[in-house]
Chain A
Amino acid sequence: MNIVVAIKHIPSIADDLPVKGNNIDFDSVDFVLNEFDEQSIEQAVLVKEAVGGTVTVVGVDLIGELDSVLHFALAKGADKAVKITADEPGADSHMQAKWLAETIKGMSADIVFTGVQASNDLDGQIGPMIAAYLDIPYIGGVNSVEVADHTAVVNKEFAGGFGAKYAVSLPMVIGVQAASKPPRYAPISKVRQVAQTATIEKVTPSGEVSAGLSFKKMAPPVMTGHAEMIGGSSKEVAAKIVGLLKSKGLA
């Protein structure tokens, strides 16, 4: 089984996002692995462990710092790592999906895993786009995958606990919401060890595409309402919350 995981390196939303012109100032933000990609890497490794094969992780190197993310994926059980050297920090989903699809085309993938979404998917997610470029089926919102006889049986989540099970003749692209088991822990010592020995294959981006969007404005949301902030030490905050709840008959 030839398993590929297409990942996204995205601006971290843990800190403030600086703006330059009409978009994020990509030179001044930290980049992190999309959180859903951690789930998709896990799901890929789980499938490999169940049926055998290799897991290749591939991502677009936007700022020259993708190696650490790829080492992390290798430490979690991926077998090969490929980076598409783009050096375009603001590359949108359409561009990344095109480059990823062109790279994946040569890999004879049976399954391509992606995270179901990323917080910077302004122009949509790479999963369905890669599927469209490769002309193979896509299912997103997936929380379990089993493979047998070149068919993947996947569970897709809907709202409110509803879901559906599908059987898809491979190859396909899967957008992972959550792996069927919580992602395993990769100790930092193992990541370091991998970093010293791993080879990361470099690929140059191929193909041109435009998302067809022009930016007018990028800004933090205008506060239409804001919480009444409770100040003070943690003990004071606790006392005020308890007082508030008691006054409303909620405690």
Chain B
Amino acid sequence: MSNDVFVITDHLDGKFSDISFEMVGKAKELASAFSGQTVAVVVGSGMSANVFASDVTLQIDDPNLTQFNPEAYGNVIEALVKDKSPRLVMFGWTATGMDLAAWLSVRLGKPCIAYGRDLCIENNALVVTSQVYGGKMIADVVPEGDMAIVACLAGSFPAEAGQGSTVATTIISPISLDGLKTKFVEAIKPAGGDVDITAQQKLVSIGRGIGSKDNVELAEELAQKLGATVSSSRPVVDAGWLPRTRQVGKSGLKVKPKLYLMLGISGAPEHLEGMKSAELIIAINTDKKAPIFNVAHYGATADLFEVAEAMLELL
């Protein structure tokens, strides 16, 4: 049992995601309160890992870990955490961390908190703030016992505090990676051929509220009048109403346009991750308690079809 805080860093296509630095910065604060060390854990191969402001950076380098493999990464992290018994293990609530955090919780019999937005120490107890129910509720929970696992939402902490140049210590995998049932086959690169929504100055973004594929045309017309491009939240893409290249958010693209006009998007944390830095956010939604109204600059609780049609007449 130690008082260390482990950050399982997140990387994609050879680059560390911002959440890795964010978590290391937050971990430093917590490790100092616990009187432990901040340990950045890099599972991968050939990564330039001397980039964190951690006390220690542990790099587990093995050819089987070159690409993310949930089974291999999980086994390595489980063995490492069992051996070192940190006070806290932080993951990103990302495509990789989401495969591992809850799995590790059951493997180790330790509590797990997902959708983590903040962590602090109150009366010597770790309190974790989680953003649940699509961002409509904030829960403060205390994990019991001597170890907790927290999966943190991207954009929760400043990244700068985690940037540094601690020289990584490379270790071999603490567990054999022979006989894995999960084999990496190939990487899939972003699909080209469509408009690049990250390069657009103006986006008209539609959500579940658009209702059907036929109604996308209305958003297209409005976008055309505004010199904008149509983007969307995930449910619109999952329903097949727009191609995946138009998806804004965690599993889609991050955008920072001058105008982000939102029609029928409630503003779940996964969507906010992709657009909260837009310069002007205007949201139209029928639910006056939609979380998007905490983030948008301007909002209206109105019928998006009526507003869009009225706007078309005025433009």
Contacts and interface: CB of A to CB of B under 8 A. Distances in A.
Contacts of A159: 12, 17, 94-95, 250-252, 254
Given A39-B238, A119-B132, A227-B299, A220 B289 contact: yes
B132 A238 contact: no
A211 interface: yes
A185 B69 CA distance: 34
A250 B295 CA distance: 20
A168 B298 contact: no
Contacts, number: 289
A163 B102 CA distance: 21
A130 to B, nearest CB: 9
B132 A120 contact: yes
Contacts of A251: 225-226, 315
User: SS class of chain A's interface: helix, strand, loop or mixed?
Assistant: mixed
Contacts of B309: 238
Given A94-B106, A123-B111, A159-B17, A213 B284 contact: no
A237 interface: yes
A160 B70 contact: no
Interface stretch (A46-54, A65-73, A241-249): A241-249
A85 interface: no
Interface in B292-308: 292-303, 306-308
B298 A139 contact: no
Given A139-B70, A165-B188, A217 B300 contact: no
B186 interface: yes
A161 B191 contact: yes
A158 to B, nearest CB: 4
B190 interface: yes
A6 B190 CA distance: 30
A17 B94 contact: no
A14 B135 CA distance: 12
A129 B299 contact: no
B102 A166 contact: no
Main secondary structure of the interface of B (DSSP, over half): mixed
B140 to A, nearest CB: 4
B157 interface: no
A146 to B, nearest CB: 11
Interface stretch (B29-37, B54-62, B142-150): B142-150
B297 to A, nearest CB: 6
A212 interface: yes
Interface centre among B130, B190, B296, B311 (most CB of A within 10 A): B311
Residue among A94, A183, A227 with the highest chain B CB neighbour number at 10 A: A227
Contacts of A213: 111, 113, 141-144
Interface stretch (A55-63, A102-110, A174-182, A188-196): A174-182
Given A137-B181, A182-B239, A239-B314, A156 B136 contact: no
7 contacts: A24-B137, A121-B115, A138-B71, A160-B254, A167-B185, A212-B144, A213-B111
Given A138-B99, A159-B17, A215-B139, 14 more contacts: A123-B111, A132-B103, A132-B104, A158-B68, A159-B251, A161-B253, A167-B182, A213-B113, A215-B141, A216-B127, A218-B138, A238-B307, A238-B313, A244-B282
Interface of A: 11, 13-14, 16-17, 23-24, 35, 39, 93-94, 97, 116-117, 119-129, 131-133, 136-141, 153, 155-169, 172, 175, 177-179, 181-183, 211-231, 234-235, 237-239, 241-242, 244-245, 248, 250-251
